[in-house]
Amino acid sequence: MTAFTTADILLPKLSAEEMTKWAVVACDQYTSEPAYWEKTAQIAGDSASALKLILPEVYLEAADAEQRITAINATMQEYLAKGIFNEYKDSLILTVRTQADGKVRTGLVGAIDLEQYDYNKGSTSQVRATEATVASRIPPRVKIRRDAALELPHIMILIDDVKKTVIEPLEARIDTLEKLYDFELMQNGGRLAGYLVNGDDAKAVFAALDALADKADFNNRYGLSGQEVLLYAMGDGNHSLATAKACYEEKKAAGSPDTALARYALAEVVNLHSPALEFEAIHRVIVDVDTDKLMAEMTEALGLVKGTDGQAFTIVLNGTEESYTITKPTANLTVGSLQQFLDGYLADNKGVIDYIHGDDVVRSLSAPANSIGFLLHSMTKDELFPTVIKDGALPRKTFSMGHAHDKRFYCEARKIR
């Protein structure tokens, strides 16, 4: 068996209209736009909502973060006590997400075995991080998960299934599957439908995954020799999965009765070759910074010259945009060279960095004085698996899969205590 398996999945007993208020976008989106989350709270109102079971990261360092976490844990217990969930034992869910642009992305929700996940660079585990994991980001998130009764996943994991053997056969016979939900998502999220996958249908999924995990075939596919199989590459939510791993290791070390539940984390698996899946660059914006000093030091450190050859990116500053090429790279990718410089600069100087999806948002946030934006080019998705296999995890925040409103919405849940 591979690292992906069935789970006992919870879904709220709600109408389609109520489900629109239940499902909310991943907590790590709109981190510089609190108005988005305020609007989400208005839409959810007093209804049962996943918003009341998560902590949007825009509030992660708020003064009342501890009180918010306490309220989240209490609401989880309240929802369980009220019996608002149906539980689908030993199952998968086929998800059909129609994005706002009309493109359709299909995935499978199930459980990932954290024993087979290692986010450290150079990992040879079956489940690997695609970007560098920042250890300092894990403890604040552990506080949220440690005493939680439920998990709701925004984790998306990719498989490199060129022949479309795992998910697509289910799509072809979707009319034979039991539909569990079908509703509009709030805030330009599109539409989401889910179908129950169990019994022989689930067995067919795992047989296809086992075939995809064949070591000889894997090495032949990527022109390698004797390498351990990378079957599951993190797409979104790596720090969420790393948090689940940390909580599992805590419980295992303490001999907790919750260890068996904590060993798994709910996630959605998507084929890298889904036509709806598009890689986009994650841009950078720095505020409260001496832009003249930053530009001078960056020009010297990276050997910046105007142009678009080689490792190139665009700087948004004082209402203007200018493209530069790095002539003294420090990493294989543009984002790596830039990030290494910015990390070093911000360690010694004033300034706050944020990671942004969307060119227009970068332009807007870079408009005030003492602010600067960096627009980066996208990597192609076909580069992902070969690069991670050969070079290890990419620099953090290298790529994003789609716009913020196309990210995973919380819908399913699972007991973890």
> 213-268 pLDDT, tens per residue?
999 999 999 999 999 999 999 999 999 999 999 999 999 999 999 999 999 999 99
Contact 218, 162 (CB under 8 A): no
Q: Is 238 found in the same domain as 91?
A: yes
Q: Is 146 found in the same domain as 73?
A: yes
How far is it, in rounded angstroms, from Cα 109 to Cα 131? 22
In a domain, 339, yes or no: yes
In a domain, 154, yes or no: yes
How far is it, in rounded angstroms, from Cα 142 to Cα 115? 18
Query: Is 80 exceeded by the pLDDT of residue 396?
Result: no
> What residues make up the domain containing 312?
283-375
Q: Give me the pLDDT at residue 1, please.
A: 74
How far is it, in rounded angstroms, from Cα 313 to Cα 337? 11
Q: Is 237 found in the same domain as 331?
A: no
Q: Give me the pLDDT at residue 397, please.
A: 82
Q: What is the DSSP letter of 228?
A: P
In a domain, 390, yes or no: no
Contact 2, 206 (CB under 8 A): yes
Q: Is 258 found in the same domain as 169?
A: yes
Q: What is the DSSP letter of 414?
A: E
Q: Is 318 found in the same domain as 303?
A: yes
- pLDDT band at 122, cuts 50/70/90? confident
Q: Give me the pLDDT at residue 163, please.
A: 96
Q: Is 153 found in the same domain as 20?
A: yes
Query: Is 90 exceeded by the pLDDT of residue 95?
Result: yes
Q: Is 139 found in the same domain as 113?
A: yes
In a domain, 395, yes or no: no
How much is the pTM? 0.85
Query: Is 80 exceeded by the pLDDT of residue 207?
Result: yes
Q: Give me the pLDDT at residue 374, please.
A: 98
How far is it, in rounded angstroms, from Cα 120 to Cα 123? 6
What lies within 8 Å, CB to CB, of 38 at 6+ separation is none
Contact 41, 208 (CB under 8 A): no
* Domain count within the chain: 2
Q: Is 293 found in the same domain as 257?
A: no
Q: Is 69 found in the same domain as 190?
A: yes
Q: Is 371 found in the same domain as 249?
A: no
Q: Give me the pLDDT at residue 278, please.
A: 85
Q: Is 152 found in the same domain as 94?
A: yes
Q: Give me the pLDDT at residue 332, please.
A: 76
In a domain, 389, yes or no: no
The stretch 410-417 carries a mean pLDDT of 97
In a domain, 392, yes or no: no
